[in-house]
Structure 1
Amino acid sequence: MSKEKKYKANDVYQERASQAKTVRKIVFISLSAFFVVVLAVIIGGYTYFVNALKPVDASDDGQDVEVHIPVNTSTSQIAQILEDEGVIRNATFFRYYTRYKNESGFQAGTYSLNTSMDTDEIIEELKDGLVMAEAATTIVIPEGLTLNTITERLSEFTGDSQDDIFSFIDDEAFVQSLIEEYDMLTEEILDEDIHHPLEGYLFPASYQFDEEQPDIEAVVRSMLDQMQLVYNERQGIINASDYTFHELLTIGSIVEREAREREDRFTIAGVLHNRLNEGMMLQVDPTVAYAQGEHIYMTTYDDLEVDSPYNTYQHTGLPPGPISTVREEALVAAADPNETNYLYFYARYNGEIIYNEEYDAHLEARDAYRHEWQEAAEDTE
């Protein structure tokens, strides 16, 4: 190789080396800047979080504040009350902090707190305070109940007639106000095909109240608050689903009416997903019973003729809305079901679920055990 070529090759090498060095500097500076920014954000966030947990008033005396925590108040609601009363700096951080420390057991009652108390002191006061409200009355709403049955119970509980209760909770202006207040509620519940907008949204649980006959709105809001809490805590699987929360509640309500055992809830949910993905009719008996507004021991061919968008033997896809109350586990099953190849299931009277991939095998199972439901129906006559 000639000297001239050697010099040119060396020049090219030097130029490339210089460019590579420049690139490395740029990358290094960029990464350094990035890590500095990230570190600053972390430090700033940590500092803000720590400060948010400090007393509102750093002085020794502070200011006494009387805070009332009603019965059935969730941690999120307690946090908001404390912020509104000026006892803590930030309700969101209080909620995350209690979750991080796995704190629970907050007692209802009226407390004398002080603005000089830090978050840990407030938590202990709410857990160990001497003032504790005793519930005057309690109502239990089980899983799998229709709103029609719930309102019968609420009528006895509140002293209002069932018709008055339905007039109140079905009122469009009231429902619209709830949609504006609760994140979980959307315009979907105002679909004209839906029997009752709040069907499925009243969380099944035990509820305590200070009054012997509490106001119906207070009762309804307590149940909605509890469902909102579940909605907030299950955002991960809800957002990961292909279905809206309303649709997941609808699937969950069907699961609730079909399954008794935990594993069956997740497998039945998987079957329902499979049928929806295949564009098949769901053909589940509880939706027919809901369409007719009555309990049916054994669905007959005549029952399947009921003209209703809830009749999943006549319409593909999901019914317009939930058909019953839904426990949290059924909602989770609806959002994150078992993966299965089953397309059919048959529920025996004893609670056993028989699953099949083929329709002929499903018919055999149905014909083999159908007499159990016939005998049960005869026994009740």
Structure 2
Amino acid sequence: MTEQQKPTEQLNFELRKKEAKTVRKVVTYTAIALLSIGLLISAILFFYVKGGLKAYDAKDDSEITVEIPIGSGLTLISKKLEEAGVIKDARIFKYYAKFNNESQFQAGTYNLTKSMTPDELIESLKTGKVYRTPVFTMTIPEGLTIEQIGEVVEKNTTITKDEFVSYVNNPETVDRMMELYPNIVTEEVKNEQIRTPLEGYLFPATYPFYEENPTVEEIVLTMMEGTAMNVTPYLDYLESKGKTVHWLLTFASLLEREATAAADRESIASVFYNRLEADMPLQTDPTVLYALGEHKDRVLYKDLEVQNPYNTYQNKGLPPGPIAAPGRSSIEAVTDPADTNYLYFLADKDGNNHFTDSYEQHLINRDKYITGTKE
């Protein structure tokens, strides 16, 4: 039977059969092509991402300075790392950090290298320290004044105490710290009654240094960053109380110089709070010593008469500014004091503090625990 002799219905069926076969071929070839393209793109993306999770250049150890401002989010940090040439792709670093739930990064100035892996970069940004071995470390104990910190710096570096103190007290240095840390260092440090503008603003801690001879600027910025890191978490608290960072550091510095044990800070803070509320002078000896500008084993009665804005026997309220560098425990005690009615306390010859809410009991404690009287 010829094609012409086939019924029309059969011809249509065979035609549809051929068209379906053709369509299946087109769909199959298209699917294969799309799959191949998809696999190729996936492979390219895989190797690109894989490369982005490695060090940019494992052989390049040259340092690249990267400044991470306070309050920077992961997006901004990733962008800055890419712009500095430390990583290949900001998006890869960002999503890698997010995938690993890493987001608590520290602000500061970092000397990073292209040879650092994303994990090493993340570790550095989390701890606020460059992930490498320091040349030396320097410990600044709690409760030191700027002058005393200068002595520590002189013992550990080629910088003299006078050079350190001169740099810290330079008005240009103060202005720069105000510019770099506007939420921390404010116009309050320029109060004409303040003896040393940045007193209490250089955080006590053990700091690593990665150069044999760091500059005085690097040392001061490192300590200022320590203050910013430890005070920033309390900014919301201070705002809710209508208080400032200067108030916090001033209050905390009194605790630092008065406390003889870690557990006493909260109780001493309660004494100061209760006295402030009762409109009583704080009457704390360390402020008298600061006003005198000298160290003494004990404060004499005649010392209490010194006319100085820092003397809390002669002036009510907090002194104009910090009298020393407070540590983290003292800062925490200001924000979370003990709940007491104490108004008085004294330390016995063994350094143990004794608290009371009455002046009569305070006198009894004085006679009981302290040998001799002030002259």
TM-score scaled to structure 1, two decimals?
Answer: 0.70
Match of 1:150 in 2: 149
Q: Does 1:310 align with 2:310?
A: yes
Please state how far the C-alpha of 1:137 moved relative to its aligned partner: 1.9
Match of 1:39 in 2: none
Please state how far the C-alpha of 1:76 moved relative to its aligned partner: 7.7
Pair 1:75–1:99, CA change in 2 (3 A) = farther
Q: Does 1:166 align with 2:165?
A: yes
Contact 1:169 1:175 in 2 (8 A): yes
Q: In the aligned structure 1, how far is the partner of 2:216 from the partner of 2:188?
A: 23
- AA in 2 matched with 1:84: K
SS in 2 for 1:302: helix
- AA in 2 matched with 1:181: L
Alignment deviations for residues 317-358 of structure 1 (CA, whole Å, 9 cap, x no partner): 110111111111211111221121111111223221111111
Match of 2:113 in 1: 110
- Which contiguous aligned blocks of 4+ residues in structure 1 show a shift greater than 4 angstroms? 57-63, 65-70, 73-82, 93-97, 124-127
Deviates more, 1:81-90 or 1:311-320: 81-90
Q: Does 1:353 align with 2:353?
A: yes
Pair 1:140–1:82, CA change in 2 (3 A) = farther
User: What is the RMSD computed on CA atoms of the aligned residues?
Assistant: 3.7
Please state how far the C-alpha of 1:81 moved relative to its aligned partner: 6.2
Pair 1:361–1:233, CA change in 2 (3 A) = same
- AA in 1 matched with 2:284: V
Please state how far the C-alpha of 1:285 moved relative to its aligned partner: 0.4
Alignment deviations for residues 165-218 of structure 1 (CA, whole Å, 9 cap, x no partner): 222111112211111111211111111111111111111111111222311110
Alignment deviations for residues 103-124 of structure 1 (CA, whole Å, 9 cap, x no partner): 9xxx98634358xx7xx79647
Please state how far the C-alpha of 1:372 moved relative to its aligned partner: 7.6
Aligned residues: 305
- AA in 2 matched with 1:215: T
Match of 1:234 in 2: 234
Contact 2:282 2:313 in 1 (8 A): yes
Contact 2:269 2:333 in 1 (8 A): yes
Pair 1:336–1:167, CA change in 2 (3 A) = same
Q: In the aligned structure 2, how far is the partner of 1:337 from the partner of 1:125?
A: 34
Match of 2:102 in 1: 98
Please state how far the C-alpha of 1:61 moved relative to its aligned partner: 4.8
Match of 1:51 in 2: none
Contact 1:74 1:226 in 2 (8 A): no
Contact 1:237 1:332 in 2 (8 A): no
Please state how far the C-alpha of 1:267 moved relative to its aligned partner: 0.9
User: Which of structures 1 and 2 has the bigger CA Rg?
Assistant: 2
Deviates more, 1:60-69 or 1:82-91: 60-69
Match of 2:217 in 1: 217
Match of 1:64 in 2: 56
Please state how far the C-alpha of 1:258 moved relative to its aligned partner: 1.1
Q: In the aligned structure 1, how far is the partner of 2:122 from the partner of 2:270?
A: 41
Matches within 5 A, 1:179-190: 179-182=178-181, 183-190=183-190
Q: Does 1:338 align with 2:360?
A: no
Gap regions ≥5 residues in structure 1: 1-54, 375-381
Q: In the aligned structure 1, how far is the partner of 2:172 from the partner of 2:49?
A: 47
Q: In the aligned structure 2, how far is the partner of 1:307 from the partner of 1:176?
A: 29
Q: In the aligned structure 1, how far is the partner of 2:148 from the partner of 2:131?
A: 32
Contact 1:199 1:322 in 2 (8 A): yes
Gap regions ≥5 residues in structure 2: 1-44
TM-score scaled to structure 2, two decimals?
Answer: 0.71
Pair 1:207–1:122, CA change in 2 (3 A) = closer
Q: Report % sequence identity.
A: 38
Match of 2:267 in 1: 267
Match of 2:362 in 1: 362
Deviates more, 1:220-229 or 1:296-305: 296-305
Pair 1:74–1:174, CA change in 2 (3 A) = closer
Pair 1:212–1:112, CA change in 2 (3 A) = closer
Match of 2:290 in 1: 290
Q: In the aligned structure 1, how far is the partner of 2:123 from the partner of 2:244?
A: 39
Matches within 5 A, 1:76-95: 82-86=78-82, 87=87, 88=90
Q: In the aligned structure 2, how far is the partner of 1:74 from the partner of 1:373?
A: 53
Match of 1:177 in 2: 176
Contact 1:252 1:331 in 2 (8 A): yes
- AA in 1 matched with 2:151: E
Pair 1:262–1:59, CA change in 2 (3 A) = closer
Contact 1:110 1:132 in 2 (8 A): no
Pair 1:144–1:326, CA change in 2 (3 A) = same
SS in 1 for 2:115: strand
SS in 1 for 2:370: helix
Please state how far the C-alpha of 1:365 moved relative to its aligned partner: 1.2
Match of 1:20 in 2: none
